[in-house]
A and B are shown apart, each in its own frame.
Chain A
Amino acid sequence: MDPFISITLAVFLPFLLAAAVPAVEKLIKHKVGWFASFVALVSFLLVVSLIPLVMHGEHFQASVEWIPSVGVEYSIYVDGLSILFGIIITGIGIIIMSYSNGYMGHKEDLPRYYQWLLLFMGSMLGMVFAANTIMLFIFWELTSITSFMLIGYWRNRPESVYGATKSLLVTAAGGLFMLAGFIVLRSITGTFDIPTILQNEMLIQAVRGHELFLAALILIFIGAASKSAQGPFYIWLPNAMEAPTPVSAFLHSATMVKAGIYLVARVHPIFSGTDAWFILISGTGIITMLVAGFLAFRQIDIKALLAYSTVSQLAYIMTMYGYATYQEPGIGVAAATFHLLNHATFKACLFLVAGIVAHEAATRDITRLGGLRHEMPITFIIATIGALSMAGVPPLNGFLSKEMFYESSLEMGHALGSPFTFIIPALAVAGGVFTFAYSIKFIAAIFLGKRPEKGLPSHIHDPSFVMIIPAAFLAGLIILFGLVPSIAVQNLVEPTASSIMMETQHLHVKLWHGLTGSLVMTLITFLLGIAVYTRYDSIAKWQNSFNRKYPFISINYIYDGLVNNAKDTLKGFSSFMQPGPVRRYVLALLFLTIVLFAVPFLKLSAGFIPTLNFDVAPYELLVFFFMIIAALGAAMLPKYLPAVISLSALGYLVGLLFIYLSAPDLALTQVLVETLSTIIFLLAIVRIPQTFKERITPSLFMRDALIAVSVASMVFILLINATQGIIPPFESLSYYFIEKTLPLAGGHNIVNVVIVDFRGYDTLGEISVMCLAALGVYNLIHSRGESE
């Protein structure tokens, strides 16, 4: 199949079939999860079929015009990197959706759950295969929205709502920074198309030499960091653990949180090799790795522990992509890519174990768990494999990529020279030590030690095969990639590294590679890790007491302050902007209109004396006369009812005038709208007192009169200028439409063609507003009923 069609299908099938989920659910009830897994399988096969295409660092691109005038296209780009992500997304997707069949109770709202999972998978695929940055941005924000819906899946729990809101605020706002970065990048290169930049050495040099280089890099990195929970933006991830556990495994460990890493890898060829790149990416990475690894100690919820470890592990990958010098821009690329794949396997596996434990033992609190190895032997084995892989113990895949991390750290330190030769590897080892300690804690707290006397259900056992097989499969992959790394390396890692480095890469990953510096570092890590583990509880206790003593030294504290204050600040702002009486708004609007129109118009028409033409037909004069009377009546009559009637009389007279001026469309519209609005007006005013209560003081009268006269004279000047066509720089638009309506749109009625064709997009917006207005009225009427 044509790669373009394969990818388009892989991306949009989940979207289309998500719409079918409720119907399928009616047919096969709670087995609907298998349908979702099947969709994921189809996408997976479509992506896998493209591996041969990119095996040796080749790439493929195809596009369809979307908004050609600004260079926005539906454009896909297939290379090693996007294939690697595509396989992780769809592969983990199959596993998660199958597992959910066991995890989610049959009484849950299953269609909604699987719909959002499928929508998420489609958005994520769309993002990694997007070549155009605008398309990438759209799918990027779609993943934020779907993640929001999935974190808030249990809508009635305040923690879920809090976590969902937080994740949306942080990641969607980060996405906006990224968009700004893309726009800066376009202003430098003149294109939204990433491959165009990647394949053009001149453009890359132009970006690097440009004064906005740093701005583009920082903006894009803020987007990446917020999505991948790096630096200060990590705070949303622990709260996102309120999602159902399969969601956490899928979105918040294996795929969505790697979107930021994907972005960093994608723009790697453009920015890497500069000092700014290394300082920003690796600097943030190393700090996040240490802080998150350290903070994991005080977590007592096993999912929160895994969340902090995810932040820390993502930071490893980030750090490695950041390792770059001018001569060697890609020191850590291969290692980062391999760790990315491995992390997806072992972390998803651990989350599935956490889900099993919570499902069977009805708690995720490590202080209430323990000693479950006898009751859940299979789960225990799987958890041990996953956790040891995370700790970097041979012969598991985590060991291999951890070794590569140390190796690239050594290399980077060496390249930077003293004193970094020592500092960077030391920091890397420190990160490894924390990881080792909390990995051991994960196993020990759940499975080892003594079973607590009370608090746990009396009968705990391994779950059904539906839940155990997906986890066991991942554990199998961990061992397979550890023992025979070449399977993963040759098919996935090498093509990816090649596509990031823009040249073919060959890696030699072996379990035993001699007594190297990195092996020594691993041994040190184990020794220190065991030492730290023995002090694990006292470190956690110290962290807790520190947090109690200085609660304000925390990013969450700042976030909560900002968000809670925002409500008050906005309340003040909106009560200032919306004081209540409609008259004030009208006043502000009219005043602004006068200023905004009068100033430029007076300037433009200065020195021009319009020839006034008083040659008006007598019957028209009569209409004008009645219009003036009607207008005065609307303004001066003391009761609502006659005032409204007077106003609509004015409206009908305007309609009459349109007929004289040979504008039947306008006249028809005017009369009809006038009729309807009068009826609605009358419906509303029968409920309110019939006379105006306000007393109009002379000063108020003067002010209003002044405004009325200025508005009227402004409109007068405007009309005179417009009808005589004397404003120099503008040419009347109507000539264009008169000329083009028939040949371009095939219609004779210019007004209507402009509405439905030339400005069709505007009209779509306008009718959406009409729908919103109707919904708004609905809300007004019904919400008032509730508050009573």
Chain B
Amino acid sequence: MTTVITKMITRICLPLVILFSISLLLAGHNNPGGGFIGGVMFASIVALSYVVYGLEEIKKSFSPDWGKWFGFGLVLAACTGFAALPFGHNFFRSAVEILDIPLIGEIEMVSAALFDIGVYFVVIGSLLSIFQMVGEDK
């Protein structure tokens, strides 16, 4: 697995895939994509680099605590349940507001998108922490 070719490809793919995963996350409301797919995409490229370069090697330069990621995601997702309350909707109802920002144009603000970001973090965090723990286990 650790040939020069895989290393090179992984290196080229890493930024592209991460950007793609973010675009999947943000596009999810209207186009194919969403927090879950984006999260799995992110997790798989990091997993790939773990496999190709070795866990220890990657951890030297990049070693976030994935447990915090899923913790944060879960809290964020749970909190969005309340996001619609100030707009006069019920608990967990998605609030839709359309903002008109000069130069950028109309942007749709949906509280469900925040929820999706929570899902994104939970998926990344839980998958990679499982991955890392199983991988580190001797």
Task: Using CB atoms and an 8 Å cutoff, list the residues of chain A in contact with chain B.
Answer: 65-68, 664-665, 668-669, 672-673, 675-676, 679-680, 683-684, 745-749, 751-753, 755-757, 760-761, 763-764, 767-768, 770-771, 773-774, 777-778, 781
Contacts beyond the supplied A665-B34, A749-B28, A777-B134: 13 A-B pairs with Cβ under 8 Å? A664-B32, A668-B24, A668-B32, A676-B127, A679-B44, A683-B134, A748-B29, A749-B29, A751-B34, A756-B29, A761-B92, A778-B129, A778-B133
Chain B residues with CB below 8 A from A774, complex form: 66-67, 70, 125-127, 129-130
Cα separation A676 to B36 with both chains bound (whole Å): 13
Given contacts A669-B40, A676-B47, contact A752 B126 (CB under 8 A): no
A767 with B77: CB separation less than 8 A: yes
Chain B residues with CB below 8 A from A777, complex form: 129-130, 133-134
Chain A residues with CB below 8 A from B43, complex form: 676
Pairs A-B, 6 closest by C-beta atoms: A746-B96, A774-B126, A752-B34, A748-B30, A747-B29, A672-B40
Chain B residues with CB below 8 A from A68, complex form: 90
Cα separation A416 to B123 with both chains bound (whole Å): 68
Name the CB-closest residue of B to A758.
B94
Given contacts A756-B94, A770-B126, A771-B70, contact A680 B112 (CB under 8 A): no
Cα separation A538 to B78 with both chains bound (whole Å): 61
B119 with A749: CB separation less than 8 A: no
The 19 sampled A-B contact pairs (Cβ below 8 Å) are A665-B33, A669-B37, A672-B37, A673-B40, A680-B131, A746-B108, A747-B29, A749-B31, A752-B116, A755-B119, A756-B28, A760-B115, A764-B77, A764-B78, A770-B123, A774-B66, A774-B67, A774-B130, A777-B133
A752 with B47: CB separation less than 8 A: no
Q: Would you give the shortest CB distance from B77 to chain A, in whole angstroms?
A: 6
Task: Using CB atoms and an 8 Å cutoff, list the residues of chain B in contact with chain A.
Answer: 24, 28-37, 40-41, 43-44, 47-48, 51, 66-67, 70-71, 73-74, 77-78, 81, 90-92, 94, 96, 108, 110, 112-113, 115-116, 118-119, 122-123, 125-127, 129-131, 133-135, 137
Cα separation A664 to B118 with both chains bound (whole Å): 22
Cα separation A67 to B92 with both chains bound (whole Å): 10
Cα separation A679 to B90 with both chains bound (whole Å): 42
Q: Would you give the shortest CB distance from B85 to chain A, in whole angstroms?
A: 9
Cα separation A771 to B36 with both chains bound (whole Å): 14
B interface, over-half SS: helix
Name the CB-closest residue of A to B29.
A747
Chain A residues with CB below 8 A from B81, complex form: 760-761, 764
Cα separation A752 to B73 with both chains bound (whole Å): 17
Given contacts A683-B135, A778-B133, contact A749 B126 (CB under 8 A): no
A749 with B37: CB separation less than 8 A: no
Contacting A747 at CB < 8 Å: which of B37, B112, B134? B112
Q: Would you give the shortest CB distance from A135 to chain B, in whole angstroms?
A: 14
Cα separation A768 to B81 with both chains bound (whole Å): 14
Chain A residues with CB below 8 A from B96, complex form: 745-746
Cα separation A753 to B41 with both chains bound (whole Å): 19
B118 with A767: CB separation less than 8 A: yes
Q: Which of A65, A66, A669, A763 has the most CB of B within 10 A?
A: A763
Q: Would you give the shortest CB distance from B127 to chain A, in whole angstroms?
A: 6
Chain B residues with CB below 8 A from A752, complex form: 28-29, 33-34, 116
